[in-house]
Amino acid sequence: MIPVQGYQNQKVAVLGLGRSGLATARALQAGGAIPLLWDDSPESRQKAEDQGFTCTDLTRNAAWEGIATLITSPGIPHLYPKTHPVIARAMELGIPVDNDIGLFFQSLATAQWDRYEQPPRVVCVTGSNGKSTTTALIHHLLQEAGRPTQMAGNIGRGVLDIDPPEDGEVIVLELSSYQTDLARALTPDIAVFTNLSPDHLDRHNGMGGYFAAKARLFTQGGPDRAIIGVDEHEGRYLANQMGQGPGDDRVIRISSGQKLEGFGWVVFARKGFLAEWRKGKQVASIDLRDIAGLPGAHNHQNACAAYAAVRALGLAPRQIEDGLRSFAGLPHRSQLIAERKGVKFVNDSKATNVDSAAKALQAFPRIRWIAGGMGKDGGIAALQPFLGSVVKAYLIGHSARDFALQLGQTPHEICETMDRAVTRAVAEAEPGDVVLLAPAAASFDQYPNFEKRGDDFVERVRGLV
């Protein structure tokens, strides 16, 4: 646990009592603060009280007397589409609003660090797609190289739940736009921006607000090294803002698909090969084509980002290549789960939007595609250019019929349920096919989250093959 500093004997309100909220309450208590907890859900309040915490009704004006700050969980809207009433009241009273990420950066360094030979470092990863894989891959590469490391944030443990870092340790955090948007302290040593595509636009009042939330990690955080995907306009803009010129190697530009020239430090992947160039000279190359845990161009971009991060931390190219080859991938993200009679089965349940589904559809030559769920604005119309590899689509969930209308000439079948979709795809698959779950939709019509949807796919595939 990271005890929160700066609030000893002060009342700190905590709004939202999920995983991060309860971890925040424990860390505040460990630092000597007096946490006052609230959640709109009676069940969540009862769970907190069962753990010995005090719940205080923050919807009552009298509850705010003496409160120093309000810490809110990332999932609770603080601005758009509508400010939560408790957060609105704090702002009316001038009480600072922060989140666990801000507390983490405020509290991480301690006097103990003065005795370390090498101070701990923090690597933060944000972006629309690939940030979980990139975060896990950085963590894996460090582990394989024998470097002490912990992983937390939007993946794994809450940031305040980790152990105080030891000498030379690297903390790797995945941060969502919800987390970067509000944190009052953001001071990563290395910040990574993977890419940008439309998502969570209601929460950020449009694409500009969404990008601004991501960019705060760089523009407010001031990292020593910025690793930025430049395959979209926003990434090129951010790299330009962070650098003092094309030769500034504090900015490492990364790409999947284009050769980057004329910059001080770049890492890019083309035709399945990762290349690192510094000051106009190639210094390393890795063949990614046969690395099972990183299939497709989108994972090659993740590999470039992770490679750049650990190179900035001092790992050698050969160490990195060995680590890439031993990476098994993450559940629900281009996860190879079975192979039978020349047919592969891939679980990419995390592909909850059009952009991530497009990347999955480009990763394999012959696809039997299971898609559908709670569709987002525009459905899958934008996927038309990527349907050439789809032999047939098997559509499930609330948006199955809407998706069917947008598939054009692509063969498809409305299956409605995962059970029927997997059964039909297995029955019709031929050697060389990939049965791919890449829903391009949220899961909430049939499942509580994308993990449960992916687990259902895995269970049904293994039951049949």
Distance CA 340, CA 360 (A): 20
449 annotated ligand binder? no
130 marked ligand binding residue = yes
State yes or no: 31 annotated in a binding site: no
Residues 6+ apart with CB under 8 A from 320: 141, 286, 307, 310, 311
Per the CB < 8 A criterion, the answer to whether 391 and 368 are in contact is yes
Tell me which amino acid residue 355 is.
Answer: D
Q: 3-class secondary structure for the chain?
A: CCCCCCCCCCEEEEECCCHHHHHHHHHHHHCCCEEEEECCCHHHHHHHHHCCCCECCCCCHHHHCCEEEEEECCCCCCCCCCCCHHHHHHHHHCCCEECHHHHHHHHCCCHHHHHCCCCCEEEEEECCCCHHHHHHHHHHHHHHCCCCEEEEECCCECHHHCCCCCCCCEEEEECCHHHHCCCCCCCCCEEEECCCCCCCHHHHCCHHHHHHHHHHHHHCCCCCEEEEECCCHHHHHHHHHHCCCCCCCCEEEEEECCCCCCCCEEEEEECCEEEEEECCEEEEEEECCCCCCCCHHHHHHHHHHHHHHHHHCCCCHHHHHHHHHCCCCECCECEEEEEECCEEEEECCCCCCHHHHHHHHCCCCCEEEEEECECCCCCCHHHHHHHHHEEEEEEECCCHHHHHHCCCCCCEEEEECHHHHHHHHHHHCCCCCEEEECCCCECCCCCCCHHHHHHHHHHHHHHHC
**Rounded to whole angstroms, how far apart are CA atoms 393 and 373?**
13
**Rounded to 5°, angle at Cα 301 from 296 and 307:** 120
Q: Is 133 annotated as a binding residue?
A: yes
Residue 294 corresponds to which tokens in the numbers above?
Answer: 């990183």
Q: Rounded to 10 degrees, what is the CA torsion of 12, 17, 18, 22?
A: 50
221 annotated among ligand-binding-site residues: no
Other C-beta atoms closer than 10 Å to the C-beta of 202 total: 12
Residue numbers in the known binding site for ATP are: 127-133
Residue numbers in the known binding site are: 127-133
